[in-house]
Structure 1
Amino acid sequence: MIAGLLAMFIKGILVVGGFQNLNSALIKGGRHTLTRFDYGVLGRVSPLARIFGGFVGTLVTDGTSQLSIQRFQSCSTTSQARRASCVTMVTGSMISVALTAIGLVCYALYESCDPIESGEIETIDQLIPYTALILFQGIPGITGLYFAAIASAALSTVSSTINSTAINVVEDFLCSFWNRLRKCQSLKVTLGKISVAILGFMSMALAIVTSYSSSNIFQLTYTITAITLGPSTGLFIMGLFIPKTNAKGATLAFVISVAFGVFMFVGHEFFKDTYQDVILPTYTHGCLYDNVTEVTNATASIELFTSSSQGPEHSTIQNLYNLNFNMHALILLVGSVIIGYPLSLVTGPADPAMCDPKLFVPIVDNKRLPASVRTFFRFGVPEQDEWDNRSPQIFTIILEDKM
């Protein structure tokens, strides 16, 4: 996939005429928005929201999702899992940079002839395939190889996701309600295959439904995954750092956060105002040319459009609908923690003395710190040595008292 993206970027730079022409096109079109932080977190364009949302999004997808956890568990040692995580971060960063660079090249290619406005394509999601056809049309076989690289990468991710989700359904749901299933491996395999088939059909149905959405596929995917992965990451944070969190509080927090996420998603998709979106102009005055190179070399004499309209005043609910989609996962993550901890205290907090130290991560822990400071930040969770030296009868007595 990286090779395919790199080939597309190099070919695009050659067609545009070099990095100098690319930079000139970006300056004329006002596309140098990376360091502009005056957009806030409302509207479509928000570097600030992208930074914070991107951090949480990476934490969610690469740290606590079922797909990532299953891959970490396949590693034989912790150090091996860490190395795999580092490789993932490097390759993921390379793909992100390559996609951003291709996006800049695409703008320079269609600077004076926007393919959507001219009717060449219908949605922004078709821009990359359309550009690949244009760039590689004179090189036999390259277009097919490019689409094969993209398709293989997509199929790999989809198959891994469906497989991990099917395992999650069988092990965490079906086996929980049907204890006899744990002893019958053949039945578990059969149910796993059925789950894969059902999830596959659901994925295809979802792909068909999303094709009718007004949002682009990146925005839609990020918003939908934030509904579940944001609250689930909150569960991980409460479990790792807050030992008094109990099952009731965590479950209620998860349900409330998911419901609020659905509320934000529906409002963002159907009731969002667009006046706060910074819509940079696109042009079609160069569409009379047939050759791509001539189109990109055409000069634009149209002034950069800026709107002086401030738009109507809105309520807090409407501003919530207008919130940048990158912020959804962050809000749901923080919200689940803020809701889950008080609910745990109200419903009966868990006993930190009964928490396994292997499942607890102190916020502050350094052997150079005083013992009193380290003890304070353990919040009552015993040290590993103390936990190992405890007599099994102690746990039996404590459990009997709770029952």
Structure 2
Amino acid sequence: MGICLYAPSLALSTVTKLSTWVSMVIMGSICTFYITVGGVKAVVYTDVMQTLLMFIGLIVVIVVCCLDLGGFSNVWAAADEGGRLEFFKLVISFVVMLYVLWLLCFFAGLVAYATYQDCDPITSNRVQKPDQILPYLVMEKLTRLPGMPGVFVAAVYGGVLSSLSSCGNSIACLIWEDFLKDRPYFKKLTDKAATNVVKLISALAGISGIFLGILAGKMGNIIHVTRSVSGSIMGPMQGVFIAGTTMPWVNAKGAVVGFLVSFSYNITVVLGKFIRGGGKPPRLPLSVDGCPENLVNATFASYLTSTSIPNTLVENTSFVETLFDTGGQVDSMQLTTPDPAQTSTGNTVYDISYTLFGASGILITMVVSSIVSLCTKPLAPGEVDERLLSSSSVKIYRLLWQFFKGSKISLPNNQQESEVSLKMISDCSDNKPHPPPNETHLE
């Protein structure tokens, strides 16, 4: 929730004079209010409207910028020349791909690159973070169209508020259903009182999201933070699910220990990456040659090197010294390029790419849960309902069990007892004499 709250607040602070934390407090308070008072119905209605705004904002930005750049072909050619198009590249991701929305977001990024291919806003210190490039593009290119910056901000807010409201409402319902509903005190509550408890939990979730959003702003690029945190949490969870469906021998102890070990490892690596850095993707080449400052400097430098300047002017002024070093190159007025982002060196565990946290979490969970289950007491074939397992995994496990145990596998005791009891009931019903049709039994 904190990451969802931080993204639109950063966009709003870019297009307005509000600070990031003020916009986070305002938006978090509004979202907390309507998920607390309105409940699920308010969340559903706002999700529909916010989704429409999200698509409209992205489409408007793409269309207007493409027209300014001369069409779709020019945008595509600029992205291809800059090495921004990679089709045949494997990306291990566990993010649900909403293809239409993701394609719009990706193409908005291509439009931003084509617009600033010769004058990078980050290198020229116009913005401080990559997350601010698209809002900066909107403010620079779309301000001539009345209302367009507002449409873009509404689109960003709509895309994130829908997730934030759904998350807050789901957290409240989850805590109530799984942890509070069956407690002795909460069992006695009326429906109205239970509803008030759920609303209180929703409010607390929204307040905690505000504080987590302020913390997320200090952690770096929002894409890196989102993928790192979600991968470190969802990887172990998916590992437990996969182990439960494909490994019939995994017991409850193994699943719990595997999840805890994998989750602890991922969280340690994520926190270490945020503290010491590492594992960032290499930054692709960027240019500031087309920035207005550099064009003026280059023209002025060309004029100075090709025109004779009177000695009195050189003796009486020092502006030439501020422009040129001893080698005669433009120095102090030219924009400097910051150091490249720290790339992965592969020397420590903290240099693992943030895109691999999900895969590592699944692998560690499956391996540890298998080892712990085999060391304690693995489940025998048939102890778990085979309808919940992969059929091929069950067949392989039965063969392995026969090989190592050296005996034929039989049905578990509870299943045998149920079959015997059903057979006895059937026999009794067949052998029981039927009473005469008109005979009355008094008891």
The answer to whether TM tops 0.5 is: yes
AA matched with 2:391: P
Corresponding position of 1:356:
385
Change in CA separation of 1:388 and 1:282 when aligned onto 2, cut-off 3 Å: farther
Corresponding position of 1:390:
418
Distance 1:166 1:348 in 2: 37
Corresponding position of 2:125:
119
Distance 2:252 2:393 in 1: 25
How many residue pairs match? The answer is 315
SS at 1:343 equivalent = helix
Cα pair 1:8 1:135 within 8 Å, conserved = no
Corresponding position of 1:138:
144
Change in CA separation of 1:314 and 1:335 when aligned onto 2, cut-off 3 Å: closer
Q: Is the counterpart of residue 156 in structure 1 residue 136 in structure 2?
A: no
Using the aligned pairs only, state the percent identity: 26
Distance 1:283 1:345 in 2: 57
- Residue-by-residue CA offset, 1:206-233 (whole Å, 9 max, x unaligned): 11111122x3111101111122211011
1:2 to 55, 74, 98: 55
Distance 1:29 1:321 in 2: 29
- Residue-by-residue CA offset, 1:88-140 (whole Å, 9 max, x unaligned): x5xx1111111111111101101111112222222111112222223321111
Q: Is the counterpart of residue 57 in structure 1 residue 62 in structure 2?
A: no
Distance 2:293 2:201 in 1: 52
> Residue 312 of structure 1: CA displacement?
11
Distance 1:152 1:388 in 2: 57
Distance 2:421 2:221 in 1: 59
2:99 to 84, 93, 99: 93
Q: Is the counterpart of residue 190 in structure 1 residue 190 in structure 2?
A: no
Distance 1:222 1:313 in 2: 20
2:171 to 160, 165, 188: 165
SS at 1:333 equivalent = helix
Change in CA separation of 1:374 and 1:350 when aligned onto 2, cut-off 3 Å: closer
* RMSD over equivalenced CA pairs, Å: 3.6
Q: Relative contact order (C-alpha < 8 Å, sep 6+): which is higher?
A: 1
- Residue-by-residue CA offset, 1:123-161 (whole Å, 9 max, x unaligned): 111112222223321111233223223312211111111
1:26 to 55, 79, 87: 79
> Residue 3 of structure 1: CA displacement?
2.9
Cα pair 1:243 1:381 within 8 Å, conserved = no
> Residue 29 of structure 1: CA displacement?
2.6
Corresponding position of 2:282:
278
Corresponding position of 1:216:
221
1:333 to 337, 353, 362: 362
In structure 2, list runs of 5 or more residues that go unmatched.
1-53, 295-336, 403-408, 423-443
Distance 1:392 1:5 in 2: 66
In structure 1, list runs of 5 or more residues that go unmatched.
36-46, 59-88, 291-304, 366-371, 395-403
Distance 2:416 2:292 in 1: 78
> Residue 328 of structure 1: CA displacement?
0.7
Change in CA separation of 1:107 and 1:313 when aligned onto 2, cut-off 3 Å: closer
TM-score, length basis structure 1: 0.68
Q: Is the counterpart of residue 249 in structure 1 residue 249 in structure 2?
A: no
Change in CA separation of 1:313 and 1:201 when aligned onto 2, cut-off 3 Å: closer
Distance 2:270 2:156 in 1: 28
Deviates most, 276-285 or 240-249: 276-285
TM-score, length basis structure 2: 0.62
Cα pair 1:364 1:377 within 8 Å, conserved = no
- Residue-by-residue CA offset, 1:174-232 (whole Å, 9 max, x unaligned): 346x255356463543332222222211211111111122x311110111112221101
Corresponding position of 2:270:
265
Distance 2:411 2:277 in 1: 49
SS at 2:292 equivalent = coil
Change in CA separation of 1:16 and 1:193 when aligned onto 2, cut-off 3 Å: same
